[in-house]
Amino acid sequence: MVRDTEDYSVMDSLKLTDENIEDRIITSQIHDTIRQLVDFLPLDQREVVVMRHFADMSFKEIAECTNVSINTSLGRMRYALINLRKLIKEKQLVLAK
For the stretch 48-95, pLDDT in tens is 999 999 899 999 999 999 999 999 999 999 999 999 999 999 999 888
Q: Note the CATH architecture for domain 22-90.
A: Orthogonal Bundle (1.10)
φ/ψ of residue 15, rounded to 5? -90, 120
Q: Where are the domains of the chain?
A: 22-90
pLDDT higher than 60, residue 47: yes
Distance CA 29, CA 31 (A): 5
Q: Read off the pTM.
A: 0.72
What is the distance between the alpha carbons of residues 75 and 69, in angstroms, rounded to a whole number?
10
